[in-house]
A and B are shown apart, each in its own frame.
Chain A
Amino acid sequence: MIPQTLFDKIWDSHVVKSIEGGPDVLYIDQHFIHEVTSPQAFDGLRARGIPVFRPVMTLATADHNIPTKDQNLPIKEELSRTQVEKLAENCREFGIEVFGLNHPKNGIVHVIGPELGYTQPGMTIVCGDSHTSTHGAFGAVAFGIGTSEVEMVLATQCILQPKPKKMRISVNGTLQKGVTAKDIILYIISKISGGGATGYFVEYAGSAIESLSMEGRMTICNMSIEMGARGGLIAPDDTTYEYLTKIPSISNRPDFYSLLKKWHGFRTDPGAHFDRELDFDAARIKPMITYGTNPGMGMAIDDTIPSIDSIASEASASFLKSLDYMGFTPGMKLAGHPVDYVFLGSCTNGRIEDIRAFTHFVKGRKKAREITALIVPGSKKVEQQAINEGLDKILKEAGFELRQPGCSSCLAMNEDKIPAGKYAVSTSNRNFEGRQGPGSRTLLASPLTAAAAAITGRITDPRDMLQD
């Protein structure tokens, strides 16, 4: 038999039909929807007069628009409220389960899918959201789709999709203390650029990847899209099985052991072909920070912004426009630069491990007075867990407030906006112009680097402040 990649095994076993000279008809095992990218898809079904083909295979949550304070009150912003209400109405009409605002299972779609056991190895998973790649951490083929494709899945449980090429990114070696999964992925993107993996599906491998927790692996896979990849996945191993075993809806299944056995087969065969292979040394990675307006514009926190001579001529206009927006200049050092806001949260870094890491770092310290901090759990479950562990109290003593879950300041569709011209060290995934509010200036970093900035009020290397 020809050796196959894990991606090939999953993809090929989900092809209902291959269209000659065209895309594959791919069967979808799990579909997630949220309030922003689904209403037009439901309208499409109504216009055609058709039902949802497999309602139990779609799960809905409200996350993009919701406030992160006073969630018991009606949403103030009218359009946001309408969109959240519309999701509930559509789900009721078409028989889809929805975890709306205040539901104990509500949260960011890419946080709740995994934590509630909807995400499993070997699945095909889609959602009208580019960070669907997150679910690849469990050895699933997961990727973001547009609203027309959401309608396809609702109508037929399938989408038409060209099969991407395959890339393997191996990270071997031991990470330095204070360097996290977020730094690994920001490092990789800075090396291959924001479009470096376009057209590919990535498998992450190597000892540094295997050493990560499921939360860390989700952070890595989450940002696959930021280098243009269709998605990213990591083969399931004992860390994966241990995580899944702790989820009652999975471990209580009568076929749990046969599931475990099946998952063991989800690996890339030795000698399988990848269209592109990249290797990185974990020991060389330092805490990372971005300086520009796409996630590829990142550097080690103690480094300087590239000089204009090092930028290709056709890219120089975009490079200078980006630095101008950020209020930076080529060759500038960022360490010590003042910061106004800190955002901990999002589908990239809003999980319990992220809240724990941030809290542990700020424990016994005080938030800098000039910093406004937004500490936003990724789900109700994460919020509850943080409270159970007393993290909210430690945060409060240090001058921080644990808010309620949602996408929040990652894309600022709700009130959690960073004002124009202000600098935010943010654990989210995009530093695009205006992403966190019109005129906002985003510096992407890990939860530890965000915590260090929150305490000092400046861009600070967290390695200098680690406490045990």
Chain B
Amino acid sequence: MAKEKFDILESTCIPLPLENVDTDQIIPARFLSLTTREGFGEYLFRDWRFDKSGNKSGGFVLNDEKYKGRILVAGKNFGCGSSREHAVWAITDYGFKAVVSSFFADIFKNNSLNNGLLPVVVSDEFLKNLLDQIQKDPETKVIIDLKQQLLTVSSGESTGFEINQYKKECLMKGLDDIDYLLNITDMIKAYEFRKTLGK
């Protein structure tokens, strides 16, 4: 089914300079009981955003009014742990369109690409500089050009990034893997037939 297309994204960023941010932090397990895909944004980083009494925790970056934007910039090994796609739903429902890090966990990366959230991998050094810049100047803008596979910072630096060409096309055209697979069911049936015959 058609999804929103990803082309060029220009936005200020929200910095999260922590490593190994796991999907239990992105969305704690106790909020996984919903049976729809909507409404998870409310629970994004729940236990970092709110204290035990439900008041906003002052120190957390999502509660810091000087930071806004649709790009989350986070430390390495982002999205490790549980396979819960709810983590990606929470991030997109909150309003993010891309996450920049030097390293993503595999399942999280797949889940992101399946939901139109672009994971952008940059070098450790580029990430460190970008985080520093955003923290010094929260108005720092980042342009992510998917077609050119180029991330440019308003201060002038830029870096290319890798993405599998098939996934790039899916994101740019708003296509979905299930449509692709449903179109090749004859091939899948032929595979099953060969396998049954032991070939």
Indicate whether B43 reaches chain A with its CB closer than 8 angstroms: no
Indicate whether A438 reaches chain B with its CB closer than 8 angstroms: yes
With A144-B107, A198-B77, A434-B24 given, is the CB distance from A47 to B1 under 8 Å?
yes
Indicate whether B153 reaches chain A with its CB closer than 8 angstroms: no
- A-chain residues with CB within 8 Å of residue B185 when the two chains form the complex: 53, 156
Indicate whether A236 reaches chain B with its CB closer than 8 angstroms: no
Indicate whether B177 reaches chain A with its CB closer than 8 angstroms: yes
Indicate whether B197 reaches chain A with its CB closer than 8 angstroms: no
- B-chain residues with CB within 8 Å of residue A205 when the two chains form the complex: none
Q: Mark A141-176, 1 if CB is under 8 A from B, else 0.
A: 000111111011001111111101000000000000
Our count of residue pairs bridging A and B at CB distance below 8 angstroms stands at 189
- A27 near B166: Cβ-Cβ < 8 Å: no
Q: Mark B45-84, 1 if CB is under 8 A from A, else 0.
A: 0010000100000000000000000000001110011111
- B-chain residues with CB within 8 Å of residue A36 when the two chains form the complex: 32-33, 84
Q: Mark A122-137, 1 if CB is under 8 A from B, else 0.
A: 0000001110000000
With A19-B166, A130-B107, A430-B24 given, is the CB distance from A151 to B178 under 8 Å?
yes
CA distance A44 to B177 in the complex (A): 13
CA distance A57 to B78 in the complex (A): 33
Contact of B24 among A158, A317, A432 (CB under 8 A): A432
- A65 near B33: Cβ-Cβ < 8 Å: yes
Q: Mark A219-233, 1 if CB is under 8 A from B, else 0.
A: 000000100101000
- A147 near B85: Cβ-Cβ < 8 Å: yes
- A294 near B80: Cβ-Cβ < 8 Å: yes
Q: Distance in Å from the Cβ of B138 to the closest Cβ of chain A? A: 19
Indicate whether A433 reaches chain B with its CB closer than 8 angstroms: yes
- B178 near A413: Cβ-Cβ < 8 Å: no
- A-chain residues with CB within 8 Å of residue B83 when the two chains form the complex: 37, 128-130, 144-146
CA distance A130 to B128 in the complex (A): 29
With A16-B187, A147-B85, A158-B181 given, is the CB distance from A83 to B35 under 8 Å?
yes
Indicate whether B9 reaches chain A with its CB closer than 8 angstroms: no
- B80 near A194: Cβ-Cβ < 8 Å: yes
- B85 near A146: Cβ-Cβ < 8 Å: yes
- B-chain residues with CB within 8 Å of residue A86 when the two chains form the complex: 35
With A148-B111, A413-B32 given, is the CB distance from A315 to B37 under 8 Å?
no
The A-contacting residues of B in range 133-181, CB under 8 angstroms, are 164-167, 177-178, 180-181
- A-chain residues with CB within 8 Å of residue B84 when the two chains form the complex: 36-37, 146
With A195-B77, A433-B24, A434-B24 given, is the CB distance from A25 to B107 under 8 Å?
no
- B-chain residues with CB within 8 Å of residue A198 when the two chains form the complex: 77, 80, 103, 105-106
- Name the residue in B17, B36, B177, B187 with the highest tally of chain A Cβ atoms < 10 Å from its Cβ: B177
- A160 near B34: Cβ-Cβ < 8 Å: no
- A-chain residues with CB within 8 Å of residue B85 when the two chains form the complex: 37, 40, 128, 146-148
Indicate whether A350 reaches chain B with its CB closer than 8 angstroms: no
Contact of A195 among B1, B18, B103 (CB under 8 A): B103
Indicate whether A387 reaches chain B with its CB closer than 8 angstroms: no
CA distance A43 to B22 in the complex (A): 27
- A145 near B29: Cβ-Cβ < 8 Å: no
- A434 near B47: Cβ-Cβ < 8 Å: yes
Contact of B77 among A147, A151, A194 (CB under 8 A): A194
Q: Distance in Å from the Cβ of B179 to the closest Cβ of chain A? A: 9
Contact of B17 among A23, A130, A317 (CB under 8 A): A317
Q: Which residue from chain A places its CB closest to the CB of B177 in the assembled complex?
A: A160
CA distance A86 to B32 in the complex (A): 14
Indicate whether A276 reaches chain B with its CB closer than 8 angstroms: no
Q: Mark B26-43, 1 if CB is under 8 A from A, else 0.
A: 001110111111000000
| A-B contact list, 10 entries, CB within 8 Å | A23-B167, A40-B36, A47-B1, A48-B178, A195-B103, A225-B81, A314-B124, A315-B19, A434-B24, A434-B25
- List 9 extra interface pairs beyond A27-B192, A148-B177, CB under 8 A: A21-B164, A22-B167, A27-B195, A146-B111, A155-B181, A195-B80, A318-B20, A433-B47, A434-B25
